Amino acid sequence: MSRMTYEHQPRQRADTQPEDVRLGAVVITMGQRPGELRTLLESIAKQDGPPVEVVVVAQGVTVPNIPQGVRVVELPENLGIPGGRNVGIDAFGDGGRDVDVLLFLDDDGLLPHQDTARLVREAFAADPRLGIVSFRIADPETGVTQRRHVPRLRASDPMRSSRVTTFLGGANAVRTAVFQQVGGLPDDFFYAHEETDLAWRALDAGWHIDYRADMVLHHPTMPPSRHATYHHNVARNRVWLARRNLPAALVPVYLGVWFLLTVVRSPSPAVLKSWLVGFREGWRAPCGPRRPMKWHTVWRLTRLGRPPVI
């Protein structure tokens, strides 16, 4: 599923200074939003502190008018979100080892504040066990952060930072030692739940994940269902997520809860059919290597407010 399988790497020393944290950024694009992409790249270039090295991964397209100094990797086809981001990671050396932390940003977002890179450096320098930071996504016109963009169950206050159990795929920063220890994103997921798969593996390896309300990405409000295969992939990948990562006893519990929730929410017949097709495929198709998390990690997820049954 993921092409990256690395041995354990030493974690960053506790006495690392923020200015020593080397930052890179990965942006994947299908070439549909050239204006927004350039605006994002300009916002990265304006960040305080040392320059952030940027790689744009073009998924089956040619991307013109890229600012000088930005590297472009053009792929012959669309590999999906996790596949494209894995290519971007490897553009910084195997597992991103040429930098310390990678930002992953949606091509139609932008960093409205110039201190975001500095805050990222400070966060990772201060906590050598911090593996992933999830940014706050806000609508550029209203400033509103949707509840679904707060990666915890208690999402009513998006301005509260906290430890969390997952992160937002298009607005985050990941210590590259995480990839070198637990591997990359699951290529075959293509779209949906690839972040939670990586998050669970990172937590199982002892890393922390933080949601930071002061690290902001502006992104227009859009429904996730705009993707044509959204409902199918959500169902299929949730089954793969459980089969790959959960102790055997929790797999039917986790999937049973989500099955019931889906039925109770009463989606349209077309949506329910797509979801059921994906759910069935998740059981029949190979899910990649199975590495069930430790029961200690299950307890850790529970203490953080998100037991892996909901």
Q: What is the reported pLDDT for 265?
A: 87
Confidence of residue 8 (pLDDT cuts 50, 70, 90): very low
Domains, in order of start, for the chain: 18-222 (3.90.550.10), 226-303 (no CATH)
- Band (pLDDT 50/70/90 cuts) for residue 5 is very low
Looking at residue 266, its pLDDT comes to 77
The number of beta carbons lying within 10 Å of the beta carbon of residue 227 is 16
> How confident is residue 7, by pLDDT bands cut at 50, 70 and 90?
very low
Mean pLDDT of 81-103: 98
CA distances from 1 to 92, 138, 147, 190, 287 (A): 20, 32, 30, 10, 7
Give per-residue pLDDT as tens, 126-138.
999 999 999 999 9
Q: How confident is the model over 105-134, as pLDDT tens digits?
A: 999 999 999 999 999 999 999 999 999 999
* C-beta atoms surrounding 195 within 10 Å: 25
- What token pair was written down for 90? 């490897």
Reported as a pLDDT band with limits 50, 70 and 90, residue 6 is very low
Closest to 155 (Cα-Cα) out of 140, 176, 134, 141? 134
Supply the pLDDT for residue 4: 47
Q: Please tell me the pTM assigned to this model.
A: 0.94
Q: Report the alpha-carbon distance of residue 183 to residue 228 in Å, rounded.
A: 28
Of the ranges 6-10, 82-86, 263-267, 286-290, which one carries the lowest mean pLDDT score? 6-10
* pLDDT tens track for 210-248: 999 999 999 998 776 555 589 999 999 999 999 999 999
Query: What pLDDT, on a 0 to 100 scale, did the predictor assign at position 223?
Result: 72
CA distances (Å), 12 to each of 24, 208, 263, 279, in order? 16, 13, 46, 40
CA atoms within 13 A on the CB side of 64: 0
Amino acid letter for position 157: D
Which pLDDT score is estimated for 227? Answer: 57
**By percentage, how much of the chain surpasses pLDDT 70?**
94
